[in-house]
Structure 1
Amino acid sequence: MVLVALGGNLPTEHGPPRRTLEAALREMDAKGIRVVAVSRFYRTPPVSPHEQPDFVNAVAQVETDLGPAALLAVLHEIERLFGRERRLRWYERTLDLDLLDCRGEVVEAEGARGADAGTGPLPLALPHPGIAERGFVLVPLKDVAPDWRHPVTGKNVDGLIEALPPEALEGIEPLKP
């Protein structure tokens, strides 16, 4: 199973964040990353202490022949096409595409886990280093892959969600279709 998280909180030429995420899904398909399932879209509050608009988040299950590094490179290319500017961590953005899991592979990358800030993309690490702490990822992940298990800990999505502090789930609401 290959899982990609999508998020954004700034408008683009495609419209507001939800329309941008929908356009990004089409772009993934155009680049040979076949989207097979998409969660609901969720409005989520920003994690940043900086004042900024709410995010729209979703998770997609995709199929591709690409390996993890090549897939991540294509996702970063799509981010750039959609005007992604990398600033400090947790800042507003037009589009964020995170490779959450790629066929259960485990890849440790120096500097990826626990990195706080930076202007470039983090190195490949699988599963995504922040997946277990992010309600805004786990809630839509449950929609699209309710039986998914963390490749390192073996915990299922429900167990990961239950382990979150209540504030990690506050304000996460599905958008109307």
Structure 2
Amino acid sequence: MKRFALAALAAASFALPAFAGDQYVDETGFAVSGYDVVAYRSLAQSAVGTSQPEAIPGKASITAEYNGSTFAFATEENRDKFVSNPDFYAPQFDGHCAYGVAKGGKVPGNPHLWRIVDDKLYLNITKNVVGFWEEDIPGNINLAGGNWVGLEPTEASDRTIPNFSSPAPAKK
């Protein structure tokens, strides 16, 4: 009987909608500090160990809502691409630092410290952290994925991104 109850509970849990944690939103009031998440796909990715191109700011007049947050875009075309497939374009771990999640916590993701791996956008918090992240990107992605199950339902980080100034859209 106990086995039947556990099986029924497990089956019911698969029918429930997945709970998404809060997107990281900083003082700008926008997800990813107001940078255009679709535009990352058009930037030439630098080799591991070198700095990535700077993110492209979105405009406060071109936005879309997703995961309870407002995302800004540089063009209406980018907004439309995002709206058609937000899971593809939104950063992993709700915009939190991927290495931070690998280490078991939610800390802000800096939109200028990014990398696309296997068609997924990852952010990190500082240049030093990028170095640790890049020592074992696949291993860190695996660790972060395992940790995210327990971290996702917790509140988003409310910390400010260190040493970061944003020319992103004005506050909403």
- Do both proteins adopt the same fold according to a TM-score greater than 0.5, normalized to the shorter chain? no
TM-score of the superposed pair, with normalisation by structure 1? 0.28
Tell me which protein shows more helix as a share of its residues: 2
Return the index of the structure with the highest Cα Rg: 2
